[in-house]
Amino acid sequence: MRGMMDVDVGKLNQMLRFLQSCRRYSDEISADEDGREVCVAGWLHERRDLGGVLFSIIRDRGGIVQVTFRRETVGEEMIERARGVSRESVVAVIGVVKADRRAPRGFEIVPRTFEVLNEAAAELPLDATGKVHANLDTRLDARFMDLRSERVRNIFMVRAEVQRLAREFLNSRGFVEINTPKIVSTATEGGAALFPISYFEREAFLNQSPQLYKQMMMASGFDAVYEMGPIFRAEEHDTTRHLNEATSLDVEVAFADHEHVMSLLEDLVVFIYEGIAEYTERKKMDFRIEVPKKPFERITYDHAIELLSEHNIEMEWGDDFSTIAEKTLGEIIGAHYFITDWPCEIKPYYAMPAAAAGCDKDASSERCNAFDLMHPRLELASGSQRIHDYNLLRKNIEMRGLDPESFRFYLEAFRYGMPPHSGWGLGIERLLMTMLNVENIREVILFPRDRRRLVP
RNA sequence: GCCCGGGUGGUGUAGUGGCCUAUCAUGGAGCCCUGUCGAGGCUCCGACUCGGGUUCAAAUCCCGACCUGGGCGCCA
């Protein structure tokens, strides 16, 4: 291999090949490497010019590292060049590690070469050092720069880790990852609003949930599947906990009842929390992760109504919980919990009635084997045992005023050997925002889509 | 969809009828400074969302539009 000093930094792609071969992130370098030559590349985070000595702070994915320019070590030409570089410009440095107690991390880099790969314009749309507060709206407009700040970068590193942990957990339990269409011909469940799109000469929609497809996979013999992907809701809600494009982790398991998938969900959530607690600790991230305790409390829908009544919140049997009711229940319980045994009428048509599953001896029971996973702040997931009987499912669709013909592709799967099955869908953004104690759901998705925002 | 706020330099703010050729911080341009670590000192630069109205006088009051924050509703 050629020595570092042989690189002709004037030739861009030679420089890039060189960076590929030896570039290191700033957190990988320490004072222990005193005297060793290293190369780093990143953004000019800050510059402190003291006249005869100039400190350039370079930031990359690993954090920050100080590069020290002194007249006697780097020469007048380089120090002048370093002085003229605007903040947030992309730079590359080859230099020698010098242990020095005066330096921020106990060492600094004395540069041999200092190259500006791309100059940043002034003034910046945001302060990437975090000294000046910016509104979320301003930050999202300049999200590429917002993502350069440590806190925001950490949120998305945690998000990636959450998704990795979810896959690790489900893969280890024998689940098969699937991908289902996001462009569909019909509403999944009839209720929520859909985004219409133009599909050649026909109208189509963005899918609001993989529900129908993951159920059809149960008839395929795949037994246990999951999908992590986007879901689209055209609801005009405008809150800190709703998105029009969100990420859902959907799971479906054959030969399993709702109790089984509730335990699975509980195990998954705790597994992710434990993994993230370890991850943020190891990466020295400034988050306090409180791992929830198993088992999560299970309260029935009826019991929830009683609890609310004791706190002077009255609701009719058959109503869904209002925002204030959800928050009050959260305060009463103070931890993750399940709400179970919901009225059929406020759950989707595919939810298994308790009577049909033999869970309720009363044949006229109006309850179903559905559940919601709640965080004290908001709903995280909902699921149920599903109806696997063709005739019952078809009857339910009709009773909701939906046209069974438009569900034909789905219903067919129930006629030729559909096993009993259960599943749930978990909102990844909601899991993240509650785990990291973030107020606004937009903080935990790179480029949020909400009622007003379509760019960037 | 309903209710309540807000729109002032690149960013975050102060200012609620005349004291505003508009405050402070950050930033940008420049000068000084050999150990900064939210560096420091000095000089300069840069803004009242748009349209209409009230008034002798509007950043400030009224109306409308647009943008925006929060709460509720809606939401497998």
Task: For residue A127, give the nucleotide whose C1' atom is nearest its CA.
Answer: B11
Q: What is residue A57's predicted lDDT score, i.e. its pLDDT?
A: 95
Q: How confident is the model at residue A2 (pLDDT cuts 50, 70, 90)?
A: very low
Per residue in A304-341, pLDDT (tens digit) is 999 999 998 889 899 999 999 999 999 999 999 999 99
Tell me the two tokens of residue A20. 């590929």
Per residue in A241-254, pLDDT (tens digit) is 999 999 999 999 99
Per residue in A266-285, pLDDT (tens digit) is 999 999 999 999 999 999 99
Encode A367-376: b = buried (16+ Cβ within 10 Å), e = exposed. Answer: bbbbbbbbbb
Note the strand B nucleotides within 7 A of protein beta carbons: 1-2, 10-13, 25-29, 32-40, 67-76
The one catalytic residue among A87, A233, A258, A449: A233
Whole-angstrom Cα distance, residue A314 to residue A309?
Answer: 5
With 60 as the cut, is the pLDDT of residue A452 above it?
Answer: yes
Q: What is residue A348's predicted lDDT score, i.e. its pLDDT?
A: 92
Residue A241: active-site member:
yes
Q: What is the mean pLDDT of chain A?
A: 91
- A52 CA vs B40 C1’ separation (Å): 15
Whole-angstrom Cα distance, residue A418 to residue A421?
Answer: 8
Q: Identify the residue whose Cα has the smallest distance to the C1' of B67.
A: A452
Please report the sign of the dihedral spanned by the C-alpha atoms of residue A334, residue A353, residue A258, residue A193: negative
- Say if strands A224-232 and A202-206 run parallel, antiparallel, or are unpaired: unpaired
Residue A177: active-site member:
no
Spatial CA neighbour of A126 closest among A147, A154, A96 = A147
Residue A101: active-site member:
no
- A113 CA vs B43 C1’ separation (Å): 34
Encode A393-422: b = buried (16+ Cβ within 10 Å), e = exposed. Answer: bbebbeeeebeeeebeebbebbeeebebbb
Q: What is residue A10's predicted lDDT score, i.e. its pLDDT?
A: 64
Residue A198: active-site member:
no
Per residue in A114-124, pLDDT (tens digit) is 999 999 998 89
> Taking the model in full, what pTM does it have?
0.92
The stretch A31-58 carries a mean pLDDT of 94
The stretch A232-239 carries a mean pLDDT of 86
The one catalytic residue among A56, A209, A382, A384: A382
Residue A412: active-site member:
no
Q: What is residue A117's predicted lDDT score, i.e. its pLDDT?
A: 93
CA distances to A244, A252, A302, A337 from A316, rounded to whole Å, are: 29, 31, 10, 22
**Percent share of chain A, pLDDT over 90:** 76
Per residue in A172-216, pLDDT (tens digit) is 999 999 999 999 987 666 556 888 888 998 888 999 999 999 999
Q: What is residue A73's predicted lDDT score, i.e. its pLDDT?
A: 87
Residue A233: active-site member:
yes
- A285 CA vs B13 C1’ separation (Å): 30
**Percent share of chain A, pLDDT over 70:** 96
Residue A159: active-site member:
no
Q: What is residue A192's predicted lDDT score, i.e. its pLDDT?
A: 66
Q: How confident is the model at residue A1 (pLDDT cuts 50, 70, 90)?
A: very low
Q: What is residue A191's predicted lDDT score, i.e. its pLDDT?
A: 59
The one catalytic residue among A45, A59, A139, A242: A242
Per residue in A75-117, pLDDT (tens digit) is 888 999 999 999 999 999 999 999 999 999 999 999 999 999 9
The one catalytic residue among A28, A161, A189, A235: A235
The stretch A224-235 carries a mean pLDDT of 94
Task: For residue A124, give the nucleotide whose C1' atom is nearest its CA.
Answer: B10
Q: How confident is the model at residue A158 (pLDDT cuts 50, 70, 90)?
A: very high
Q: What is residue A9's predicted lDDT score, i.e. its pLDDT?
A: 59
Task: For residue A133, give the nucleotide whose C1' atom is nearest its CA.
Answer: B12
Spatial CA neighbour of A304 closest among A268, A331, A284 = A331
The stretch A286-298 carries a mean pLDDT of 93
Q: In what order do the strands lie in the sheet with A202-206?
A: A183-184, A202-206, A196-199
The set of residues, in sequence order, having a beta carbon less than 8 Å from that of A257 and lying 6+ positions away, is A357, A369, A385, A420, A422
Task: For residue A379, give the nucleotide whose C1' atom is nearest its CA.
Answer: B75
- A441 CA vs B7 C1’ separation (Å): 23
Task: For residue A233, give the nucleotide whose C1' atom is nearest its CA.
Answer: B75
The one catalytic residue among A336, A367, A375, A430: A430
With 90 as the cut, is the pLDDT of residue A455 above it?
Answer: no
The stretch A390-410 carries a mean pLDDT of 91
The set of residues, in sequence order, having a beta carbon less than 8 Å from that of A282 and lying 6+ positions away, is none
With 50 as the cut, is the pLDDT of residue A164 above it?
Answer: yes
The stretch A14-42 carries a mean pLDDT of 93
Q: What is residue A15's predicted lDDT score, i.e. its pLDDT?
A: 87
Spatial CA neighbour of A436 closest among A326, A284, A276 = A276
With 50 as the cut, is the pLDDT of residue A3 above it?
Answer: no
